[in-house]
């Protein structure tokens, strides 16, 4: 228990003791002998018969002593006439003036409920704030201060963002040797804003900056400034910068800056709320009249589009560092960082894994290596193999296998034709990304099967023909169902959604429509208060909208006709790939190439099946009976449900 908790408890105990003492002094003491209560008529009768020796009168209370020594009491309405009658009867009468309590005792008695309520309120506030060192500590900053216990992470532990490390290294060098910059008249940036998608390593870069710089480091989240009490956010900002000034040179890191730095004037209640007061105070602290040169502010956000422009101007956040998704070499470096403390088999090639994880960010790659380690431990291996990484990639992209989902033979056949259609279209159209794997094993929440294409290199520009090819690949599954089953299913819902979205973007955003020309149609309205794009502003006429629909339909219909012709010409190959997929459930890219080249795949070795057949044969030999053959001779189109 800290000092304030002890003081609070001591004050409450003192209040209770004082009130108890006041009540004790104000309460008349009782005689040891029991005092009997008489009715007024009994009291008058006893007085007239001469049985009462003396009485004492205090307001309406009459206490007396009988001649036999017994004590009694009674109550009267008017003691004046009664006293005169008692004197005539020979009874000794004594009037006792009313006793008044001290003024302070009455004040304490009347204030006790109020003091009790105040004490309870302070106690509740104290618990709400997590038991800080002071009762009224909710105006204090919640920043974690690292001085001698700075994070052990350094720039050597950060990979895949070399440019960002170079930018931050300059700030670290200034904090280590500010005179070197001052001699040249150079001013280091006051604020560094780290921008980028989630999981790219913005917070990790800030931790590495703390590990590299030999200065105090303050870390806080943007949401820690906002509180239920008005004015607390601004007070916490003042307290944070006041602490940083006392320890300057220092680094202040604010994670998720968009929680407090959103654009002002976007609130539904008039624009003057608690968050805006906090932001105003931050703007003043960063570049006010009392400007400090020894404080470097680092902030991270993945929503720079909603930040207030005053935060982004030079003098506040001077330097904007983009921490983007890593390229192939960056992914390889990240994989090396996360796998350096794990035992890998000689067959593991991180270069191949990096090429197969296009679009993965640092957090995805860390999760990938961890999933591979879990799979290796689950399978009882002593080192991570390439198959563990392959399975981990599938788990990260499509989710874990759903072996418990039972699918009947007919649906399994339709799924196999669907995925074979995707794979064949992707393989037969020149320029498409290579097919890496085809699977009809259910994964994740809704995926009954998937076809995985992995690009050979990172791409930053996509041509119109490449977009058309992508739409063709998306329609390959639906067309395969049409020409093989004579019917269509709901399995192509996500494919159609993505194909339609691509076609709309080609027409309205990329200017790839010959009829409408190089125009961008429609404006997105950015609702800053809600934090995302919620509506498209239709800035075109109904005639243009009709033309957009026609162009989209023309693109989709053209791709559909192209895919239908392609799969019809390769109908036998489609059945061949489907049969192999039904038999194996998973086909690698090399297997697909073998089938297209006219070759045959090696027989699938099923050790569990061999064990079952051997056991059945032994049992039949013992009993002298012939066992049933569990194999299926339906040509692969009626397989047993996957369990």
Catalytic residue list: 419
Nearest to 168 by CA among 216, 220, 203: 203
| Residue entry with tokens 């392959």 | 390
3-state secondary structure (DSSP) of residue 517: strand
| Peptide bond before residue 402 is cis, with ω within 30 degrees of 0 | no
According to DSSP, residue 223 is labeled: G
Q: Are 297 and 222 in contact (CB under 8 A)?
A: no
Alpha-carbon Rg for the chain, nearest whole angstrom, is 43
Tokens read off for 131: 């038991």
**Could you give the CA distance from residue 434 to residue 457 in angstroms, rounded to a whole number?**
11
Tokens read off for 3: 């000092």
3-state secondary structure (DSSP) of residue 204: helix
Q: How far is CA 589 from CA 358, 457, 586, 593, in A?
A: 17, 17, 10, 6
Nearest to 159 by CA among 369, 298, 337: 337
Q: How far is CA 561 from CA 116, 238, 475, 557, in A?
A: 83, 66, 10, 6
**Could you give the CA distance from residue 56 to residue 33 in angstroms, rounded to a whole number?**
17
**Could you give the CA distance from residue 185 to residue 458 in angstroms, rounded to a whole number?**
42
315: left (phi over 0), alpha (psi -120 to 50) or beta: left
Tokens read off for 294: 């020894």
**Could you give the CA distance from residue 465 to residue 467 in angstroms, rounded to a whole number?**
5
Tokens read off for 262: 């959103």
């Amino acid at each position: 228990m800290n000092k304030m908790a002890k003081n609070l408890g001591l004050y409450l105990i003192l209040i209770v003791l004082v009130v108890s003492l006041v009540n004790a002094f104000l309460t008349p003491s009782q005689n040891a002998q029991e005092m009997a209560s008489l009715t007024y008529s009994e009291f008058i009768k006893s007085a007239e018969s001469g049985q009462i020796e003396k009485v004492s009168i205090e307001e309406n209370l009459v206490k007396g002593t009988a001649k036999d020594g017994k004590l009694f009491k009674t109550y009267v309405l008017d003691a004046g006439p009664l006293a005169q009658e008692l004197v005539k009867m020979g009874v000794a009468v004594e009037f006792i003036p009313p006793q008044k309590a001290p003024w302070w005792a009455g004040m304490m008695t009347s204030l006790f409920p109020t003091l009790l309520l105040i004490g309870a309120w302070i106690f509740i506030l104290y618990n709400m704030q997590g038991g800080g060192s002071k009762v009224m500590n909710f105006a204090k900053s919640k920043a974690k201060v690292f001085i001698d216990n700075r994070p052990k992470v350094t720039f050597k532990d950060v990979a895949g963002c070399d440019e960002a490390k170079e930018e931050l290294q300059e700030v670290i060098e200034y904090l280590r040797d500010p005179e070197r910059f001052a001699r040249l008249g150079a001013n280091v940036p006051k604020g560094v804003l780290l921008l980028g998608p989630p999981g790219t390593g913005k917070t990790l870069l800030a931790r590495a900056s703390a590990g590299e710089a030999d200065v105090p480091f303050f870390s806080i989240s943007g949401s820690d400034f906002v509180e239920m009490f008005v004015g607390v956010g601004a007070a916490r900002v003042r307290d944070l910068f006041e602490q940083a000034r006392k320890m300057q040179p220092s680094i202040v890191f604010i994670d998720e800056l968009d929680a407090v730095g959103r654009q002002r004037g976007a609130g539904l209640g008039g624009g003057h709320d608690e968050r805006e007061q906090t932001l105003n105070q931050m703007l003043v602290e960063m570049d006010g009249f009392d400007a400090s040169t020894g404080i470097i502010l680092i902030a991270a956000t993945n929503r720079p589009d909603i930040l207030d422009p005053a935060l982004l101007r030079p003098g506040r956040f001077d330097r904007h560092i983009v921490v983007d998704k890593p390229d192939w070499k960056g992914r390889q470096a990240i994989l090396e960082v996360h796998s350096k403390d794990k035992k890998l088999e000689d067959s593991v090639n991180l270069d191949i894994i990096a090429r197969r994880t296009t679009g993965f960010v640092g957090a995805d790659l860390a999760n990938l290596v961890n999933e591979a380690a879990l799979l290796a431990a689950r399978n009882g291996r002593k080192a991570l193999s390439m198959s563990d990484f392959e399975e981990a990639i599938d788990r990260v992209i499509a989710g874990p296998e759903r072996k418990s989902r039972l699918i009947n033979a007919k649906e399994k056949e339709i799924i196999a034709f669907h995925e074979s259609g995707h794979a064949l279209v992707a393989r037969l159209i020149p320029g498409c990304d290579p097919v890496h794997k085809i699977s009809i094993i259910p994964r994740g929440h809704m995926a009954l099967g998937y076809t995985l294409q992995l690009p050979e290199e990172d791409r930053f520009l996509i041509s119109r023909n490449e977009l058309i090819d992508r739409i063709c690949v998306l329609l390959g599954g639906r067309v395969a169902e049409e020409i093989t089953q004579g019917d269509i299913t709901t399995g192509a819902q996500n494919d159609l959604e993505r194909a339609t979205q691509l076609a709309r973007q080609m027409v309205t955003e990329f200017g790839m429509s010959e009829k409408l020309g190089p125009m961008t149609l429609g404006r997105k309205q950015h609702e800053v208060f809600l934090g995302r794009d919620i509506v498209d502003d239709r800035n075109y006429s109904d005639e243009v909208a009709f033309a957009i629909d026609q162009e989209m339909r023309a693109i989709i219909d053209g791709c559909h006709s192209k895919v239908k012709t392609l799969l019809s010409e390769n109908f036998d190959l489609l059945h061949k790939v489907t049969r192999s997929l039904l038999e194996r459930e998973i086909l690698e890219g090399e297997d697909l190439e073998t089938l297209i080249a006219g070759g045959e795949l090696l027989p699938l070795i099923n050790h569990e099946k061999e064990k079952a057949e051997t056991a059945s044969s032994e049992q039949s030999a013992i009993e002298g009976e012939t066992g049933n053959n569990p194999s299926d001779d339906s040509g692969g189109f009626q397989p047993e449900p996957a369990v």
